[in-house]
Homo-oligomer: A and B are copies of this chain.
Amino acid sequence: MHLPAAKVSGYVALMIVQIVFLVLFWLFVRYHKGAMPMAIGGDGDGKKESEPLGEGGISKYPQFQDVQVMIFVGFAFLMTFLRKYGYSATGFTLFLASLVVQWSILMKGFLHLEGGKIMLSLESLIDADIAAAVPLISMGALLGRTTPIQLLFMALVEIALFAANEFVALNVLKITDTGGSITVHAFGAYFGLAVAFILRPSKDQNEAGKHEGPTYTSDLFAMIGSLFLWIYWPSFNSVLAQDTGSERAILNTFLSLAAATVSAFVVSAIVSHENKLDMVHVQNSTLAGGVAVGTVCNFLIGAHGAVLIGIIAGTVSVLGYRYLTPWLTANLRLHDTCGVHNLHGMPALISAIASIIYASQATIEGSYEAEIWKVFPAWDNSLADNEHQAGIQAVHQLYGIGMTLLIAIGGGILMGAILKYTSFRNLQKDEHHLDEYFWEVPEEKKDE
């Protein structure tokens, strides 16, 4: 109980990081034009229309707020299922996300400088929130097995790698990935799993942590996270969609989630012990539909396409929890506390595969029409040679997921090695999944 406390030096280093951010914001960040007052005389009286949500710069504000709930309540509470790790689940999510959103504005800004400055807008915040999802997914794989200092250091490096990979995928390879299944979910999941693999326990310590299970109450807290993620997932997938793709992203995501949920419940009952439903599946696999439809959410996949993807994702995810994760733990000593491989990893692969298939079939006439270049950025402007261009986009999707896996797994292995072999304190087995090493925890009273 009274082991040496977390080193202060790590926290001091984070304060220095915050102050460095302050300086970088001062040197490089400026409000974008739309958030600056209009020059007097510009349009007579300098008055702009006063419709805060109906136009221009901040028309995506409601969707942004939905994504905020997903990051700060969704991820936070989804990870409260552990019986003695709820302070860390909610607190470290808040800490990590608050650090990372600032870093992400800077990192992504440096990749898109205008006149040597980073232009700050609501879009920057949306991008930052989406970026924050990446290390939070990785955190799920490692939940309870790192110190907060390790976690935050990992997040800072991971964001830089993520931003670089995403930049290349979107701007060089010109892949399409509206819901971020490739660049966000696959990256975060496999990066985290690679770190977990390097930090794997020795053979004699491969059993589950003694505090790793849920309580009845902690499982209900986790449902808060799960349900808010479910509800707002259509916003996550649609917030960066363009034109009529926005509505398709909403429709497809909703249907995929609904079908994944039904499938996850049914498969959970069929494969579980005594045919009882398992809360782990309900909290997580129901969401696999949102991940699996992500990359293709703005495609013309049709309602049936969305439902089919949902059925596959919900089923694969539950089977992953039931059979694959225990196998990985037993054979590779790969621990994955939240099962991010089943919620984010495999469903993201499904999404990538779906994007390859659908992209290879895309046509202009009678289907994508004038939106073809927005949905499929690898297409060039010639209207001829459709089939060839569809093939190029499909191949680029394949390259995109390939590169993402490579960078995520390579980066994760490197990061794991840094966390393990440098001067970071590593938790011992019996310190796992316990708030009390990092938090003041109230003593339990006899009368309660």
Contact = CB atoms under 8 A, between A and B. Distances in A.
A230 B94 contact: yes
A25 interface: yes
Interface in A52-78: 52-55, 57-63, 65-66, 68-69, 72-73, 76-77
What 9 A-B pairs are tightest by C-beta distance, nearest first?
A46-B370, A26-B304, A98-B261, A37-B371, A37-B369, A29-B303, A35-B247, A25-B304, A5-B275
Contacts of A163: none
Interface stretch (A183-191, A209-217, A340-348): A209-217
A102 B307 contact: yes
B83 A15 contact: no
Interface string A3-45: 0011110011011001101110110011100111111101001
Contact of A442 (B25, B57, B214, B371): B214
Interface in A347-362: none
B60 A53 contact: yes
Contacts of A228: 69, 73
Given A26-B304, A39-B370, 8 more contacts: A6-B276, A11-B275, A15-B262, A40-B370, A54-B55, A98-B259, A216-B444, A277-B440
B311 A220 contact: no
B54 A261 contact: no
A18 B263 contact: yes
Contacts of A422: none
Contacts of A272: 440
A392 interface: no
A242 B23 CA distance: 29
Nearest to A247: B35
Given A55-B54, A258-B102, A266 B18 contact: yes
B73 A227 contact: yes
A445 B303 CA distance: 46
A321 interface: no
A399 interface: no
Interface string A123-134: 011000000000
Contact of A364 (B40, B273, B308): B40
A86 B277 contact: no
A418 B186 CA distance: 47
B86 A18 contact: no
What does DSSP make chain A's interface, helix, strand, loop or mixed? Answer: helix
Interface in A298-329: 300, 302-304, 307-308, 311
A354 to B, nearest CB: 15
Contacts of A286: 94, 98
Contact of A275 (B6, B50, B258): B6
B98 A262 contact: yes
Interface in A393-448: 437-442, 444-445, 448
Interface string A219-247: 11101100110111011001101111011
Interface string A269-281: 1101111111100
A160 interface: no
A224 B227 CA distance: 12
Contact of A269 (B11, B31, B72, B221): B11
A53 B63 contact: yes
Contacts of A442: 83, 213-216, 219
A265 B448 CA distance: 28
5 contacts: A25-B304, A35-B247, A72-B230, A91-B279, A102-B307
Contacts of A270: 8, 11-12
Contacts of A23: 304
B440 A278 contact: yes
A15 B307 CA distance: 13
A112 interface: no
A53 B48 contact: no
Contact of A277 (B263, B274, B438): B438
Contacts of A55: 51, 54
Nearest to A29: B303
A108 interface: no
A152 to B, nearest CB: 9
